[in-house]
Amino acid sequence: MQVPRTLDEFYREFPDEEACWRAVRQMRWPHGFVCPRCGQRGSHRLRTRRLDQCRACRHQVSPTAGTIFHRTRVPLRTWLLAIFFVARHKKGISALQLQRDTGLGSYQTAWTMLHKLRSALGHRPEFRLTGLVEADETYVGGATTGGKRGRGAPNKTLVAGAVERRENSAGSLRLAVVPIPSREELGGFVRGMIDARQATVLTDGWQAYEHLASSGVKHRPQVQGPPARAAKILPWIHTVFSNLKTWLRGTFHGVSGKHLPRYLQEFSYRFDRRARESELFHFVLRRAVRGAPISYARLTAEAVG
Ligand SMILES: [Zn+2]
């Protein structure tokens, strides 16, 4: 598959629904069909019904079964177009914009598609942060003026972040919603994201991080002065938080705390692949094909945390 860079290339690569099914099928079974029921290789393609039938046990499988596209009523070509927009727009795309650009009949459908895609963009837990890691937390959303500042603010959602500090740039990023700024929550987040043998964690001098060293984490708290100095002590995580807030406001005009975790996944996913933007379409499509199905009911029922 050629990774489309322009809309013109997209339509040439995916001229019709059949081409999209072929691409998804190829990604699902890159080394040929493997039956999910009996494990045998080889299938007959039932083209008109877009199913593969196992040669051994005759089990019929859709290439989209068990993927993000599971039982979707949206044409695959619209899905691939959505992935194209997500991949090609540096700042992503809102549900309203997607609805307009694809001519989808319903906002809810566009919203659901984007959240299903985001649900497949989580970091892989086996990849842990190493080297120097800046960790901090921030409040996102809610009232931007008039509320209390600092560590405790109404209608805001607490986000913990950790990012690798490399020579002249940042490495990989992890973000998560945490319910309260306690040492259990913030310490647990940091411990869960780093490779403790290969990471040294840099934080400000706040007490929630004090116990990190006693739990086996190499920890270098930095004495903090005024807020301007905090940005110098932990430059990368401060930049990340600032860009995250600009992104949430600019592209989505703010998001609810309830759905924030999936936006954080998209943001971190983009951040970690910012040097490979041209390949993003392929990466996101692969995630979608390998991702687990998630229903609208579950997308809307998920709680913060
Ligand atoms: Zn079979």
Q: What is the pLDDT of residues 234-266, one digit of tens each?
A: 999 999 999 999 999 999 988 888 899 999 999
Surrounding residues of ion ligand 1, Cβ less than 5 A: 35, 37-38, 54, 56-57, 59
How many other CB atoms are there within 10 angstroms of residue 121's CB atom?
Answer: 22
Whole-number Å distance, alpha carbon 124 to ligand 1 midpoint, is: 30
Whole-number Å distance, alpha carbon 34 to ligand 1 midpoint, is: 8
Whole-number Å distance, alpha carbon 20 to ligand 1 midpoint, is: 24
**CA 203 to chain centroid:** 24
168 — phi, psi (to 5°)? -125, 15
Whole-number Å distance, alpha carbon 290 to ligand 1 midpoint, is: 20
Q: What is the percent of the chain with per-residue pLDDT over 90, rounded to a whole number? A: 80
Q: Which residues, 6+ apart, have CB-to-CB distance to 280 below 8 Å?
A: 86, 87, 88, 270, 273
Whole-number Å distance, alpha carbon 29 to ligand 1 midpoint, is: 14
Q: Is pLDDT above 50 for 8?
A: yes
Q: Is pLDDT above 60 for 38?
A: yes
The whole-angstrom separation of Cα 158 and Cα 122 is: 18
Whole-number Å distance, alpha carbon 63 to ligand 1 midpoint, is: 14
Confidence of residue 146 (pLDDT cuts 50, 70, 90): very low
The whole-angstrom separation of Cα 166 and Cα 100 is: 40
Whole-number Å distance, alpha carbon 28 to ligand 1 midpoint, is: 16
Q: Is pLDDT above 60 for 151?
A: no
- Provide mean pLDDT across the span 126-144: 89
227 — phi, psi (to 5°)? -55, -35
- Confirm if 159 and 260 have CB atoms less than 8 A apart: yes
Whole-number Å distance, alpha carbon 84 to ligand 1 midpoint, is: 33
Whole-number Å distance, alpha carbon 62 to ligand 1 midpoint, is: 13
Residue 153 has what pLDDT? Answer: 61
Residue of 223, 127, 136 lying closest to 171 (CA atoms): 127
Strand partners, 129: 194
Sheet of 43-46, strands arranged across: 43-46, 51-54, 60-61
The whole-angstrom separation of Cα 195 and Cα 164 is: 11
How many Cα neighbours within 13 Å face the side chain of 3? 16
How many other CB atoms are there within 10 angstroms of residue 168's CB atom?
Answer: 5
Residue 284 has what pLDDT? Answer: 97
Residue 148 has what pLDDT? Answer: 44
Only one residue has tokens 């687990």, namely 292
Single-letter code of the amino acid located at 291: G
Confidence of residue 305 (pLDDT cuts 50, 70, 90): very low
Whole-number Å distance, alpha carbon 55 to ligand 1 midpoint, is: 7
Whole-number Å distance, alpha carbon 77 to ligand 1 midpoint, is: 28
Confidence of residue 172 (pLDDT cuts 50, 70, 90): very high
Strand partners, 204: 222
Residue 302 has what pLDDT? Answer: 62
Single-letter code of the amino acid located at 92: G
The whole-angstrom separation of Cα 298 and Cα 208 is: 33
Whole-number Å distance, alpha carbon 78 to ligand 1 midpoint, is: 30
- Confirm if 35 and 56 have CB atoms less than 8 A apart: yes
Whole-number Å distance, alpha carbon 289 to ligand 1 midpoint, is: 20
The whole-angstrom separation of Cα 186 and Cα 219 is: 14
Confidence of residue 102 (pLDDT cuts 50, 70, 90): very high
Residue 47 has what pLDDT? Answer: 82
Whole-number Å distance, alpha carbon 43 to ligand 1 midpoint, is: 8
For 271-299, the pLDDT digits (tens) are 999 999 999 999 999 999 999 999 999 99
Whole-number Å distance, alpha carbon 120 to ligand 1 midpoint, is: 27
State the pTM of this model. Answer: 0.92
Distances (CA, A) of 242 to 119, 153, 175, 219, 247: 23, 17, 13, 24, 9
The tokens for 128 are 């842990």
